Structure 1
Amino acid sequence: MRNLMIKIQYNGANYCGWQKQPDSLGIQGTIEKAIFDITKEEVKITGSGRTDAGVHALGQVANFKLNSDIPYSKLPNALNSKLPKDISIIDCKEVDDQFHARYNAKGKRYRYLIYNSPYRSPIYKDTSYHVKYELDFNKMCKEAKSLIGTHDFKGFMSSGSSVIDTVRTIYDIEITKDEDLITIEVEGSGFLYNMVRIIVGTLVDIGRGRIKDNLSEIIDSKSRSKTGHTAPAHGLFLKKVDY
């Protein structure tokens, strides 16, 4: 039995998230069905992590065990012929039997898109957060630097998580602007539940002037009441997973 690693891109607008649900359409279950259609084998694929409903991926990684001797180089095109057009397998490799997409991940990089214009965009409506208010871009960039390093990000976690250790390390954060489109990329060792979306919401509230405190003070407070709103899911992309 071979252990195969696949890299996946998807637009999450029509899905309940990564995880397979009994009564909802998930990315995981959709890919498992495509594998069965090609190989007639029932497999369970393991993703590097869950993405919520509406979240997208440019480089989600998953692995699964397969008996079929179909060449791994042929699998992406074969699976894509069975998958809907908003999911695509963009790479496949045979990996060591011990490889685990989730447990072996050393870090992740997320991208978040903000469409900052008084008027909505039909082009970016499913893949960006429309913020119609003027944002202080330079202030957002300045404050974001406080996120880099190892901190207790308890205030940047939504309720409902059972995680006890809320210390995480942010390796890098980049904020760029191209006309009306603001791109925020965050790379770290791991992320708490809704952490990236709360980071984005906090930066937006800082840019609007709704939050007056310095971001370093907000981090130190460890209080969810001090951070900003949770930015919507549809602006978020899992860009890459590091191993």
Structure 2
Amino acid sequence: MPKYKLTIEFDGTGLVGWQRQDNGMSVQQIIEDACLIFAGHEVRLHVAGRTDAGVHALGMVAHFEMEKDIPPNKVLLAINHHVKPHRVSIVDCEYADEEFHARFSCLERSYLYRILCRPGRPALEEGRVWWTQRKLDADAMHEAAQILVGKHDFSTFRAVQCQANSPLRTLDEISVRQVGEEIHVRVRARSFLHHQVRNIVGSLELVGRGKWNKQDLQNALEAKDRAKGGQTAPAHGLYFVEAKY
């Protein structure tokens, strides 16, 4: 059967996340239901990274197999037609090699977190940024964040319900930059723990408003205790950016 690789953009607002669940509509269900209509049989999507409720994606990657051999450009058009009215879009579709797997073949995943810092609440970007009325020091956040680069026990930044076998992860890159009224936190690694990015951002926010310094972040990392970290940043500021193979 032909295998298709999809690159997907979606707005996670109102969805329960990527994975099918009983308590609401998911991105996986939206796309699989669309495929069922034109494929004539159920398909199973495999994804580069599962996202939580409210998280968005600019370039999520998934793959599936189908009995019919339909040209990728027509698969893209068919899925995009049938996913309406949900804010999910296939931005690229191509044939994949037999050995390709969206999750297990992935060498690197990257995320973006957006914080809007201004007195007025967002009107156009509501649900797509973490809004704070406080000014945050992006330079201090960036400097402190560099202690997280490399291989560490990230228990402090790991969700209590995380099911990963080990809290050890290697963070390849993290940057914090001021972009207009927003602060952008970008991270890159082969894999992440559940809520790892959001928990890191929640701790960096403390640095940004001067409540923590670099040493406080170091102490939190070394504590290996979720209770010693900052808050979990809201899901709606997080974007899955890219998967590399």
Q: TM-score, normalised by structure 1?
A: 0.95
SS in 2 for 1:78: helix
Q: Deviations over 1:188-240 (max 9, x none)?
A: 12110100000100000111223344323321221212211000000000000
The answer for the alignment partner of 2:83 in structure 1 is 83
Identity %: 35
The answer on whether the counterparts of 1:211 and 1:228 sit within 8 Å (CA) in structure 2 is no
1:72 aligns with 2:72: yes
Contact 1:143 1:214 in 2 (8 A): no
- Paired with 1:208 and 1:176, the residues of 2 have a C-alpha distance of 15
Deviation of 1:102 after TM superposition, in Å, equals 1.1
2:32 is paired with a residue whose SS is helix
Q: Given that residues 205 and 211 in structure 1 are in contact (C-alpha distance below 8 angstroms), is that contact kept between their aligned partners in structure 2?
A: yes
Partner of residue 241, structure 1 = 243
Runs of 5+ in structure 2 lacking a partner? none
1:224 to 2:214 alignment = no
Q: Does 1:49 align with 2:49?
A: yes
How large is the Cα RMSD of the aligned pairs? Answer: 1.3
Report matched runs for 1:82-161 at 5 Å. Answer: 82-84=82-84, 85-161=86-162
Aligned length: 243
Tell me, in whole angstroms, the C-alpha distance in 2 between the residues paired with 1:126 and 1:197: 15
Tell me, what secondary structure is at the counterpart of 1:138? helix
**Aligned-pair distance for 1:142?**
1.0
> Using the alignment, how far apart are the partners of 1:177 and 1:66 within structure 2?
44
Tell me whether 170-179 or 1-10 shows the greater mean CA deviation.
Answer: 170-179
* Deviates further, 77-86 or 113-122: 77-86
Equivalents in 2 of 1:203, 1:72: separation in Å? 42
| Equivalent residues of 2:6, 2:62 under 8 A apart | yes
> SS in structure 1 opposite 2:147?
helix
CA distance in 2 between partners of 1:229 and 1:208 (Å): 14
Q: Which 4+ runs in 1 deviate beyond 3 A?
A: none
CA deviation vs aligned residue, 1:147-188 (integer Å, no higher than 9, x gap): 111111111001112223111111111222122111111001
Q: Following the alignment from structure 1 to structure 2, what is the Cα–Cα distance between the partners of residues 164 and 76? A: 36
CA distance in 2, matches of 1:52, 1:226: 23
Distance 2:138 2:47 in 1: 34
What is the CA deviation profile of residues 17-42 of structure 1, one whole-angstrom value per residue up to 9, with x for unaligned ones? Answer: 10112341000010011111122121
Q: Which deviates more, 182-191 or 208-217?
A: 208-217
Residues 13 and 53 in structure 2, CA contact (< 8 A), matched pair in contact too: yes
How far apart in 1 are the matches of 2:137 and 2:77?
45
Q: TM-score, normalising length from structure 2?
A: 0.95
